[in-house]
Amino acid sequence: MSHDDNPLDDPGADPFEIARTAAADLARLTGVDRHDIALTLGSGWGKAAELLGQTVATIPATEVTGFSRPALEGHVGTLRSILTPTGKRVLVIGARTHFYEGHGVRRVVHSVRTAAAAGATIMVLTNGAGGVNPSYTPGRPVLIRDHINLTAASPLEGATFVDLTDLYTPRLREIARTIDPTLDEGVYCQFRGPHYETPAEVRMAGIIGGDIVGMSTALEAIAAREAGMDVLGLSLITNLAAGIQTTPLSHDEVLEAGKAAEPVISRLLADVVEAL
Ligand code: 8IG
């Protein structure tokens, strides 16, 4: 990995101040002062951006203060400003930093804090994930109703107590279900990764109430709520979790399932965002 200076790595720095600097960078580079909605695109959701409206600007995330170099091929490191037909400003975040990269939680949630500092009041988080619920099949989108954070980490620092009772905003879930009444709601379990779970861990996830397993969204959702945003979470089931499916999991299979489902779920996501 190349040299990568990041102000968030200074423990004495204020991550919210860095987010405000990042939002100012974003405004300068995109020419758009404020955004209404932010949207993080996970595996399989990438095509939604084109369907949302007119792309006003696309910038490399690395030009914006605090953003990390993309760790993974297929995770495009761009930030995009879109104007929808009804006049909404959508910030599309194609630059996710995962907890498993080991750069700390501040870097993981920096895009969320930047979106909030840029004015966004709604955070839409999408991901590719494994299905634990035996009724799920690859290619299916699932609304996140709640989560179980198994990372043993939090984006909140110090004695910051934030209520998470309605973390995944009920009103936004209702809107999504009016667009697609067949959308199921499930509980997302975030593991640290980057290894996939063992079959025993997947059984545990099911027993404690999980329907979906992933490596990204719970920590981001907590930071979004801390910042006062409403949160909508959508998972694409790209694979059945280990032990639910009998064959070994492969990253290629995950990418393939994402590609196959992409046109359908991208349309869904674009329609949902326009209805928010
Ligand atoms: I895509 O099976 C994808 N992401 N933890 N488990 C976890 N994360 C995932 C999985 C999975 N599939």
Q: Is the CB of 202 under 6 A from ligand 1?
A: no
Task: Give the start-to-end residue ranges of the domains of the chain.
Answer: 7-275
Please answer whether residues 109 and 68 qualify as being in contact, where contact means their C-beta atoms are separated by less than 8 angstroms: no
* Among the listed residues 131, 231, 225, the one whose alpha carbon sits nearest the alpha carbon of residue 184: 131
Please answer whether residues 82 and 89 qualify as being in contact, where contact means their C-beta atoms are separated by less than 8 angstroms: yes
pLDDT reported for residue 248? 81
Gap between the terminal Cα atoms of the chain: 39
Which of 189, 236, 239 best tests ligand 1's pocket when mutated (most atoms within 8 Å of CB)? Answer: 239
pLDDT reported for residue 1? 43
pLDDT reported for residue 2? 44
Of the residues 197, 201, 220, 262, which is catalytic? 197
Q: Is the CB of 129 under 6 A from ligand 1?
A: yes
Q: Give the class (CATH, top level) of 7-275.
A: alpha beta
pLDDT reported for residue 227? 97
Which pTM does this prediction carry?
0.94
What pLDDT, in 10s, does the model give residues 24-33? 999 999 999 9
Which residue has the CA at smallest separation from atom 7 of ligand 1? 214
Atom of ligand 1 nearest to the CA of 191: 5
Count of Cβ atoms closer than 10 Å to residue 112 Cβ:
28
HEC string for 87-149: CCEEEEEECCCCHHHCCCHHHHHHHHHHHHHCCCCEEEEEEEEEECCCCCCCCCEEEEEEEEE
What's the rounded Cα separation, in Å, for the pair 104 and 14? 14
**Sign (positive or negative) of CA dihedral 111, 166, 205, 250:** negative
Enumerate residue ranges in the chain where pLDDT < 50.
1-3, 74
What pLDDT, in 10s, does the model give residues 241-269? 999 988 887 888 777 877 888 888 999 99
pLDDT reported for residue 135? 94
Which residue has the CA at smallest separation from atom 8 of ligand 1? 214
pLDDT reported for residue 75? 52
**CB within 8 Å of 197: residues ≥ 6 apart:** 130, 191, 205, 213, 241, 242
DSSP-based three-state secondary structure for 13 = coil
Please answer whether residues 93 and 45 qualify as being in contact, where contact means their C-beta atoms are separated by less than 8 angstroms: no
Is 197 considered catalytic here? yes
